[in-house]
Amino acid sequence: MTKQFATVVDIAKDIASGKTSAVDVLEQHLARITEREGEINAFNLVTTEQARATAQQVDADIKAGKPVGALAGVPVALKDNMCTRGIETTCSSKILEGWKPPYDATVVTRLQQAGVVMVGKTNLDEFAMGSSTENSAFGPTKNPLDTSRVPGGSSGGSAAAVAAGFAAASLGSDTGGSIRQPASLCGLVGVKPTYGLVSRQGIVAFASSLDQVGPFTHTVADAALMMEVIGGHDPLDSTSLPQPMPSLTSVLGQGVKGMRIGRLADMPDGCEPEVLARMDAAYVALQAAGATIVDISLPSLSYCLTAYYLVAPAEASSNLARYDGVRYGMRVETGDLHSMYGATRAAGFGAEVKRRIMLGTYALSAGYFDAYYGKALKVRRLIANDFAAAYEKCDVILTPTSPTVAFPLGDKTSDPLTMYLCDIFTIPTNLAGHAAMSVPFGTGAHNMPVGVQVLAPALGEQTMFRVAAELERAS
């Protein structure tokens, strides 16, 4: 459905071989931005001039016979919580409006070294807190497949940019599903790598024990290539794993023969019947390709939502303490330092961010620490134990990415808890630090895309991508 646009693999190949030029590819994408960005609002900033300069450089290098990177000339969009030196980075928050970071995030540097052409910074729920991109201070992003519906969130702008053909790929960040859920709602591949596999240096922190960076693409092969470029150890990120980045592009054709695919025996309520029907079709497809389906259970699954919505706000309340009007971003001038802090934060943060800061501060406060944050960490252990037991019996687990297809704008904004329930299938992976990805697998209600989520244990990316590639072949 969104495959009408050229893939990363094809664009890189055609530019490197001289079949097309980086400038031509860029102009095609810029033309689509001109045509549809007004109604979609995928971007906080389109970096047209820098993009043209980079594309011209790529073409000049190729003409001169210089070696170019694996993604030379590929138009890529970045979630606006990734630091880009000298280029505005806002987190879709008024408190950071106008801020130009003094350095690049490691993933940005790696993409640049691979030759990408950055087309812009994409919209998100403020500080990545949300599941619909409606919490942005700069207005919601619309789903390019049906503009009356949300693109998901929090990386909704990055998903919409790829789904609308504004960029061939994009990066998002995933703290509780913020890459996988919008990928599912926009009909894309979206990857949440193992915690520590992709550097977070230069990514504005939300919940540091959960955050990971990953790609949005049209195809599994594109996602594998993007992962190989951005992944691997970074000495600038102390949570970065020392392991080398495994090859993913080389395993895509290996199939799933003999693999054991876990199926949730106790599926939580609230899934649309069309979503469940696609899940059944996914199991049939993998079985036909030689895999075995194994029933597994995750008894703590229903408690993950509580654990997540205590742990993530607790960490956020600490991480967001840095926005104090002193070193960057907005300041509301008052007579003294203390009231300046309060006035700046009151004016700079939106409602959802304030809600989570208060929730997190409460969960960490002396009288309530044991009852909330302490208990949440123990539930986190339970889900990690559940996964460990499940992976004794299977190699990967399949679930829906989202219980529903993309919902109408405004549908879930009045009750935060309803919005939080969007994340039921994606949150456990972040709590455990494992890998997971969403693969488009047909359509559900309202002819909107359904994503199947492939979950794998920590550093199980190769197995996960083999299953994803098989699902893509069958879809």
Partner 1 sequence: MTSQLSGMLDHFADIDKLDLSNVEPLAQPFPLKNVFREDVVVAGLDRDEVLDAAPAAEDGRFRVPPSLGLGEQ
- Say how far residue 273 (Cα) sits from the centre of its chain: 25
Within 423-442, the residues that bind partner 1 by CB under 8 A are 431-434
Question: Does 355 interact with partner 1 (rule: CB under 8 A)?
Answer: yes
Site string for partner 1, 237-276 (x = CB under 8 A): -xx-x-----------------------------------
The set of residues, in sequence order, having a beta carbon less than 8 Å from that of 247 and lying 6+ positions away, is 228, 462
What is d(CA 341, CA 356) in angstroms, rounded to the nearest whole number?
A: 18
Stretch that binds partner 1, among 6-14, 24-32, 275-283, 304-312 (CB under 8 A): 304-312
- Rg of the chain over Cα atoms, rounded to whole angstroms, equals 21
Cα torsion angle, 95, 99, 102, 104, sign: positive
- Answer for which of 147, 416, 443, 472 binds partner 1 (CB under 8 A) is 416
Tokens 């199991």 label which residue?
283
Stretch that binds partner 1, among 104-112, 214-222, 247-255, 373-381 (CB under 8 A): 373-381
With CB under 8 A, what is the number of residues at the site for partner 1? 59
Site string for partner 1, 312-351 (x = CB under 8 A): -------------xxxxxxx-xxxxxx-x----------x
Q: Which is nearer to partner 1, 265 or 351 (CB)?
A: 351
Minimal distance, residue 389 CB to partner 1, in Å: 14
Q: Which is nearer to partner 1, 168 or 383 (CB)?
A: 383
- Catalytic residue, chosen from 178, 184, 199, 317, is 178
- Answer for which of 166, 372, 391, 441 binds partner 1 (CB under 8 A) is 372
What is d(CA 78, CA 161) in angstroms, rounded to the nearest whole number?
A: 10
- Catalytic residue, chosen from 154, 155, 170, 184, is 154
Minimal distance, residue 355 CB to partner 1, in Å: 6
Q: How many CB atoms lie within 10 A of CB 407?
A: 23
Q: Which is nearer to partner 1, 126 or 274 (CB)?
A: 126
Tokens 């599926």 label which residue?
267
What DSSP designation does 143 have?
B
CA angle 442, 445, 449 (to 5 degrees): 35
What is d(CA 24, CA 56) in angstroms, rounded to the nearest whole number?
A: 10
Tokens 């990177």 label which residue?
69
Tokens 């193992």 label which residue?
194
Alpha helices per DSSP H over 297-441: 304-319, 337-348, 351-364, 375-393, 416-420, 427-432
Q: Which residues bind partner 1 (CB under 8 A)?
A: 99-103, 195-196, 208-209, 235-236, 238-239, 241, 302-303, 306-307, 309-310, 325-331, 333-338, 340, 351, 354-355, 358-359, 362, 372, 374-382, 384, 415-417, 431-434, 458
Instruction: Name the residues annotated as catalytic.
Output: 79, 154, 178
